[in-house]
Amino acid sequence: MSSPIQYGWAAVPRDTAKFVASLSSSNSKPATASSVSIPSTPLACKITALATQHLPLQTVNHCYRVYVYGSVIMAQHFPEQLASWPDFAETFYLTCMLHDIGTAEAFQHTTKMSFDFKGAFVASSWLSEASATQDLVDAVAETIIRHQDVGTTGCITFLGAITIVATLLDNVGQCEDLVAKETIESVIKAYPRNKWSGCFASTVRSEIEGKPWAHSTHIEQFAKKVEGNMLMEPYEGEVLP
């Protein structure tokens, strides 16, 4: 039986600055999107099909970018964990594909819950129906709930921390020292942004306007920060051929 740590159940600082403090940009080497393997287990394929069925292409591409960025960061900055946690890659992939499932048209405005909380329920249901182990189900669900939980106090799971780092990179341009420019360009070529910043900013505004209590209000001026993503601005026009 796999240990819970295989699924990212390890406590690390919630403060992203502390989580990455010991990492060096000198380890951020150019990598290609194709160097990161997309899990193809029956579970991964089932969740991929469900995610792509419910989410628009812009969001699906964001999910893939988060997975590839995070995987490259893991390989270059956390190689020991990646090597010793064989179940982590698939767990991280499932998390990335489902972290924004609560923004899908079928879910976001059919509930009064914040989209990340609703998404955790949806993900938990789908994973359980697919007979995923409970530690994996819970790890993914908790990370979806907390993937907007930026702050400076307390702890979060390792899975949650790496998911936050990768989403911050793609959404607002933070943690850019952890990946090489060539890596970003390769990932965006494989999974175009297609004006993602404007798309996601609109989603955030819709969430907050419809649910003024939403967890997204935790990040002040969230939509404006997304629109002000200068790191990714040169690539916003990248569209699918």
pLDDT in tens, 23-54: 888 888 999 999 999 999 999 999 999 999 99
Of 100, 119, 219, 216, nearest to 167 (Cα)?
Answer: 100
- Residue 238 has what pLDDT? 55
Provide mean pLDDT across the span 166-186: 96
Which pTM does this prediction carry? Answer: 0.95
Mean pLDDT, residues 6-14 taken together: 95
Assess whether pLDDT exceeds 80 at residue 239: no
Rounded CA-CA distance 17/6 in Å is 24
Q: Across residues 130-148, what is the average pLDDT?
A: 97
| Arithmetic mean of pLDDT over the chain | 95
7-16, 74-83, 232-241: least confidently modelled range:
232-241
